Amino acid sequence: MRPFPLLRVLAVVAAFVPAPEATAQSYSDPGLGIGADAGFSEGRSADGLSLAAGLHLRYRFTGSLGLEGRIGYRRETAEDGSGPLLDIVDIPVTGTAQLFFFPRSRVQPFLLGGAGLHVVRTTPQGRNTTFGGGTEALFAMHAGAGVDVRPSRTTAVHLDARWVFLEPTAITDLVNAGYDVRAGYFAIALGLTFFR
């Protein structure tokens, strides 16, 4: 009588022993993504909401740390309650650091902060015939929060809100001349990103 070879017994046992569960892949694996966003912005002295849009690159260094580069476009009219004073076109080129919470889940709230160069063109409107009428490049910081939703491992939908500390020279000139206008704006954007 021949004994069963040890390898055959181990093979049969291994076939019936369940494999350990694989660790789930994170929804925030490091990687590069490209996308677009659209939303609304409203300056402290704007005559109402204005449309804003942009293109962005996002990179996740780790599950919780990310970086976003963005170029955008927004336009608004500043007024003091008695009519329009200044038309503002803003093209921001910004860099933003992001701190994500719950990086292994599909829904990831985050905080953001950054700075950028804003190319701002101002045009006098209404009673203002003196201030504005030029283009300038301004440095401005921003801060805010948002939520990132991951429908799949390669796509993300985000909603964020940020305050931008932008102060065009024409706004400062209007304030110094006695007009009741204020600088800075609030922006809300909904975006879609595709990751590699």
Encode pLDDT of 33-69 as tens digits: 999 999 999 999 999 999 999 999 999 988 899 999 9
Q: Alpha helices of the chain — where are they, by DSSP H? A: 6-16, 169-176
Q: Is 67 exposed, middle or buried (0-12, 13-18, 19+ CB in 10 A)?
A: middle
Q: Which domains does the chain have, with CATH numbers?
A: 29-195 (2.40.160.20)
pLDDT in tens, 60-76: 988 899 999 999 999 99
The confidence score (pLDDT) of residue 11 equals 60
* pLDDT confidence bin for 30, thresholds 50/70/90: confident
The confidence score (pLDDT) of residue 153 equals 86
CB 74 within 8 A of CB 187: yes
Q: Which of 54, 41, 67 is nearest to 184 (CA)?
A: 41
pLDDT at 23 over 50: no
Sign of CA dihedral 138, 141, 147, 152: positive
pTM of the shown model? 0.83
3-state secondary structure of 108: strand
